[in-house]
Structure 1
């Protein structure tokens, strides 16, 4: 499997005004994301409104993503819900040509770390696809459970959406010190909503890869930030954090569901209209759209100043 360390893309799912799936728009969106240099494409996941999709729509999205990606990047598909539903989606992803799965938390049910490992094992048995476990909400592991995942042959890593750096550091240390033959290959990824803000902290504990929602609507800012991270350019990283990512994260956290809806609104503002979000999400109110437009402009102005300074220095 391709190395997922780096910047990963999570495409949005386009809908028409009457809430039908728009596969033509999705094809163009995926093609643009593939061109950014992302290390992986994650279709029909959280940003792609997985809970709002029918099984048929899910199959169409995954097949389209696989066709457009054309082997240039691996395509992971979301799977989630209860154990049997998650297995059904996992099988559908395999039949649709996906290269791997991102297992979202089981719906609603609270469970222990050991119970979550049982759930992961049950879903993983449905297909031979490599599987990443998404830890967030009610899906929480501990170091012993993370080590136990090594015994599930197709589980290749953990994507964290909780933001507890100490807990992740403990899991990374436990896995690496386990002596398991797969211990060094197991990947840890940063899956927080605006992951750029914590990318340095996660990288420091061994979780260098991260998901970038910004790629969906400001790929110039997302890729500039990633280059700065890769090259150790602290000045650029800090400027982009303060001028774009911090104010964007603040607005994104203002309303439940904006983690998806604001990204979709941003795509429309930057020339890629992908339609409304489906219930129970809500589209941003006009004042928030105006604020988002100002944040995007502020970020791009900051990037232009950086590029001008670098050109003069050369």
Structure 2
């Protein structure tokens, strides 16, 4: 894939499909194929499988390959498939090779396993991991993988690295990184991509847009793509009333619910998919399932979000008459 084509590909909201498991704790291949197909049909221009929402860290290597192959088969060239890759340096390199062999179009490089380091150490890890791949790689900055403007600039010298996804949320530091890259004069500076990768990224879109980061991952897309796309369209159209109402009735309460229990950024998404009729199965440990009360709250929030859409559609129809 030509990195210059990524501008259209990374148009939000980006889909990060779940990995469904069956009652025997195996990857539910048919359900995964259904899920990926629905995510593409809903309008996402790229799918990122076996990443955080897809429980990369809970998959065996053979399961990882199965997930990537299924997504590639279902996508059938309609949209690109990015696969997560992570772990220690040598392990990440092996997953990058697996992603390429299984037909992925690109990779999201997840933070190194457990070990903390300096920005220079993180950069060395990235260099080591991507050295042998020809796939375009987006680096995920979060947890123990934190860069600074100087090390982010050096990503431009790695032709495989086409973007940086931020999951830290330090807007001032991210602004320094974006500005350093854009004003560097490097031949790749203008085409380098930045993504907002915070949990429930819709909550922080205004702050990231203010520093020139318009693309974002949407966990909501995995269980309520209609709400995800409605929000993105409202942002693009400058429909602040709809943005505000979705924030108040759905997104902000969803963020509050997500923060009640560690790991809910994934397990709530899977619960939401099950509420929508997908046989997604449980999350794997150490993630924990939402309580019955929290699942009921999630269902109410989804309905509240859709009620907002119905109200705005009715208001628009009335104004047109």
TM-score between the two structures when normalised by the length of structure 1: 0.98
Correspondence for 1:306: 312
Structure 2 stretches lacking a partner, 5+ long: none
1:2 paired with 2:33, answer no
CA contact (8 A) 2:267 2:290 kept: yes
1:284 paired with 2:303, answer no
1:98 paired with 2:101, answer no
User: SS of the counterpart of 1:293?
Assistant: helix
Correspondence for 2:21: 15
User: SS of the counterpart of 1:63?
Assistant: helix
Question: What is the CA–CA distance in structure 1 between the aligned matches of 2:60 and 2:226, rounded to whole Å?
Answer: 33
TM-score between the two structures when normalised by the length of structure 2: 0.96
| Candidates 48, 58, 67, aligned match of 1:52 | 58
Question: What is the CA–CA distance in structure 2 between the aligned matches of 1:73 and 1:253, rounded to whole Å?
Answer: 32
Alignment map for 1:194-233 (pairs within 5 Å): 194-233=200-239
The runs of at least 4 aligned residues of structure 1 exceeding 3 Å deviation read none
- 1:298 Cα shift? 1.2
- 1:230 Cα shift? 1.1
What are the Cα deviations for residues 239-261 of structure 1, in whole angstroms up to 9, with x where unaligned?
Answer: 10111000011101110111100
CA contact (8 A) 1:8 1:41 kept: yes
1:255 paired with 2:238, answer no
Correspondence for 1:190: 196
What are the Cα deviations for residues 84-139 of structure 1, in whole angstroms up to 9, with x where unaligned?
Answer: 11011110000000000000000110111111111111111131100000000010
CA contact (8 A) 1:2 1:74 kept: no
Question: What is the CA–CA distance in structure 2 between the aligned matches of 1:284 and 1:126, rounded to whole Å?
Answer: 40
1:131 paired with 2:140, answer no
User: SS of the counterpart of 1:101?
Assistant: strand
Question: What is the CA–CA distance in structure 1 between the aligned matches of 2:35 and 2:18, rounded to whole Å?
Answer: 8
CA contact (8 A) 1:265 1:289 kept: yes
- 1:215 Cα shift? 0.8
- 1:5 Cα shift? 3.2
User: SS of the counterpart of 1:39?
Assistant: coil
User: SS of the counterpart of 1:77?
Assistant: strand
- 1:179 Cα shift? 0.9
What are the Cα deviations for residues 169-227 of structure 1, in whole angstroms up to 9, with x where unaligned?
Answer: 11000001111100000011000010001112111211110000111111111110010
Correspondence for 2:44: 38
Correspondence for 1:164: 170
Question: What is the CA–CA distance in structure 2 between the aligned matches of 1:92 and 1:175, rounded to whole Å?
Answer: 30
Correspondence for 2:72: 66
Question: What is the CA–CA distance in structure 2 between the aligned matches of 1:295 and 1:274, rounded to whole Å?
Answer: 20
Alignment RMSD (CA, Å): 0.9
Question: What is the CA–CA distance in structure 1 between the aligned matches of 2:29 and 2:60, rounded to whole Å?
Answer: 14
